[in-house]
Structure 1
């Protein structure tokens, strides 16, 4: 059931809201931000030139580099007195990207997240165990605001503390979880060791996001926990989580809160706007934001847009699950490879876990891929059953079942990505776990 009337209005009504928001935003940034005024002047575009939604193509793109170049506050459009909250990215490539919120921005963010919760069927009777990290990361507080607005009870435990997470699920009667999918899989792994049957708990739904994941991963989480899992999408530069969300009725595509965030799909090379249904890079313009509005922000996420009325009743445009990122995309011997493609193959195979690492190496003049995949405890025991002695790693290399498993994985992955890979099957627990976004790639090529 939709949370707000804007989720079910006609396309004409939505476009009227979007045009008014776009015109207001262009005028606003031109008057208040030196960077955008300079960009628009260079293009010969004035706020009065935006007369239709198609005129958005005349506006400049904004990139992550723009935000880095104007660190910390150069992209803000308000005075410090108007800012009520700051957030920032992790800064793994240098100084963090800083984002800010006015009181009105927090209201919009809370509304977007309330819609996200409602889309998953979360309401006043639910207890939401919020495992997303609090602090400068936008995930934890964004989810917190939305759950409060919807009227649910919130357990603000944040990430980590795996055994305590499980204890609170049992003792507090948590009905909804919010987490990265990889950490939920880790929780289940630890719970199994503790003898916990998650299907006997009150859990019924999870909202997962903050990292690329596959449909196979969704099915695995649903089967292990006995719950429904809905995908959510967001990025700090636009607002945090709440940009789009899946509905529990279909679990097929994410409804974009397009009265707040105007979406486009472009060709990542040419920058040309692509028609609905074609896959390309996702671009957003914030049309109801005041602290740090952005024009045509290039997310580098690969998706596509589809229009129509969902069986849940929402008319919001849908974006397909992100298949990868254009800047995180690996180019191996001329072939574009996304880790999520490899994950989908791994998740279909018995005897291996969802914990893996893609290692990129250079052998001579050629790039190569090596995929390290953990086997399950059950597979390990079965493979070692006929071995009377030997080191654990020797067992893994010597057993015929392991060689067969490696060949099958190599064959399946090559079928999907089009190039050969090397497979290393490694013992359970040997790939480092993450309590936040899972790190899936080790690029060892010379810089």
Structure 2
């Protein structure tokens, strides 16, 4: 089902609306946000210089550091008396990034999530169990209000106590699951441990996953445990931009449709900042076109993707972004080689005999980087001979060497050994110290 007429606008209609809203937004931030006015004045750009969509490339970038430097409300374009909601990041690596919403911002948010939920198969008949953590994190409330707008019944079960999650899921007849991919796998794992078959004993027909990267190999793992009939889509967003609702997959699974009437997306070379042509892979940069409280201009997301503009078979004409291949700040430099954790995950999850749980450990010894990967074997492989397990290890090492050009230490560990995650999975531990 297509939720809104804007999802089927012609390219000309989309671009005309984007330009109109871009001009208004740039004028607004110049007048209302001193930090933006200062940045623009320093490079000699004024609102009247924005005459075409390409002129967005003349505007300065915004980064997470800008938000931290102006903590908490320095980039806001409204006063606190106009705010209806305030969210913030965890701030685990410094000052948290604070985001705010006016009444209209919240309504736009609901609308954007409703569109993507419908694209992923959600309907008013669904019982939607939301297994994101409620609180300052935007994911849970974003999906909550968007699915309510669609008409679904909401089970706000949050994260944790997975056995109770399964009790609700079974007793309430939940048909739609919202979770991170890793927690969705964890729920299925616990179901099997307590004697439930997720495919037969639960009624989950739709899964809207997000908040962490889902590779195609991870998608395959989801199908294995939840069934091939599962309508499984991922959606994209971040607190700084709005929360979930920036883009999401339809059931054709050919990229994530962007809510282009609310977000203008560019792809840049992460090193030079140069805007790249359609189809080129680079860093995603987003300008908010309708946000009132926090209208970010050219926000550098650090996510890696590419854009496609051909109409989709689903009937939507909005541009699509390729499913993420990683983040620039997740990239590991190991012995001079750029390595994305997603590359390692693809190798692991395509290997017979091992499960979806793994840990990447990078350390340094004698001035040389060491890449170690721990991965759980599947319970059915526990009885395999030492030689069979050794062959699995060698297979993984060989494929990693071919894809990464690096040798790695691979350690197979017993099932249920590695840490499980209810929120975003943290699979990389970098133990290197500068100077070692």
State the TM-score bracket (shorter-chain normalisation): over 0.9
User: How many pairs does the alignment contain?
Assistant: 431
Q: Does 1:403 align with 2:405?
A: no
How far has the Cα of 1:199 moved from its partner?
1.2
Contact 2:214/2:234 (<8 A) preserved: no
Counterparts of 1:126-205 in structure 2 under 5 Å?
Answer: 126-200=126-200, 201-205=202-206
Task: Name the SS for the 2:392 alignment partner.
Answer: helix
Mean Cα deviation higher: 399-408 or 432-441: 399-408
2:91 is aligned to 91
Matching residue of 1:343? 345
CA deviation string 1:37-75 (max 9, x = no partner): 000100111111111001101100001111111111111
Q: How far apart in 2 are the matches of 1:17 and 1:401?
A: 60
Deviations 1:66-106 (A, max 9, x none): 11111111111111110000111111102211100111100
**1:214 corresponding residue in structure 2:** 215
From 235, 246, 250, the counterpart of 2:249: 246
Q: For the residues of structure 2 that align with 1:442 and 1:197, how far apart are their CA atoms?
A: 33
Q: Corresponding residue for 2:22?
A: 22
310-319 or 370-379, larger mean C-alpha shift:
370-379
Paired with 1:401 and 1:144, the residues of 2 have a C-alpha distance of: 47
The one of 268, 271, 274 equivalent to 1:272 is: 274
Rounded Cα–Cα distance in structure 2 between residues aligned with 1:57 and 1:366: 41
Q: Which residue number in structure 1 is paired with residue 66 of structure 2?
A: 66
Structure 2 partner of 1:321? 323
CA positional deviation for 1:228:
2.1
1:412 and 2:414 correspond: no
Paired with 1:50 and 1:132, the residues of 2 have a C-alpha distance of 39
CA displacement at 1:335 relative to structure 2:
1.5
Cα distance in structure 1, aligned partners of 2:224 and 2:412: 24
Determine if contact 1:355/1:374 at 8 Å carries over to the other structure. yes
Match among 225, 232, 247 for residue 229 of structure 1: 232
Shift of 1:329: 0.6
For 2:254 and 2:333, the matched residues in 1 are separated by 28
Asked if structure 2 preserves the Cα contact closer than 8 Å seen for 1:222 and 1:228, the reply is no
3-state SS, counterpart of residue 107 of structure 1: helix
Q: TM-score, normalised by structure 1?
A: 0.95
Deviation at 1:213, TM superposition (A): 2.2
The ranges of structure 1 where at least 4 consecutive aligned residues each deviate by more than 6 angstroms after the TM superposition are none
The answer as to whether partners of 2:121 and 2:231 remain within 8 angstroms in 1 is: no
- The alpha-carbon deviation at position 363 of structure 1 amounts to 2.0
Taking structure 2 as the reference length, the TM-score comes to 0.97
**Which residue does 1:41 correspond to in 2?**
41
Cα separation, 2, equivalents of 1:364 and 1:382: 36
* C-alpha distance in structure 1 between counterparts of 2:206 and 2:64, whole Å: 33
Offset at 1:117?
0.8
Deviation at 1:210, TM superposition (A): 0.6
Which structure 2 residue ranges, 5 or more long, are not aligned? none
Q: 1:440 aligns with which of 418, 427, 431?
A: 427
State the shift of 1:132 in Å.
Answer: 1.2
- SS of aligned partner of 2:300: strand
State whether residues 362 and 445 of structure 1, in contact with CA within 8 Å, keep that contact through their aligned partners in structure 2: yes
**Secondary structure, in 3 states, of the residue corresponding to 2:207?**
strand
Question: How far did 1:368 drift?
Answer: 2.1
Deviations 1:323-374 (A, max 9, x none): 0001111111221111111111111112211111111111222212111101
Rounded to whole Å, the distance in 1 between the matches of 2:328 and 2:292 is 28
Q: What SS class does the counterpart of residue 384 from structure 2 fall into?
A: helix
Alignment RMSD (CA, Å): 0.9
CA deviation map 1:274-329 (0-9, x unaligned): 00000000000000001011000000000000001101100110000110001111
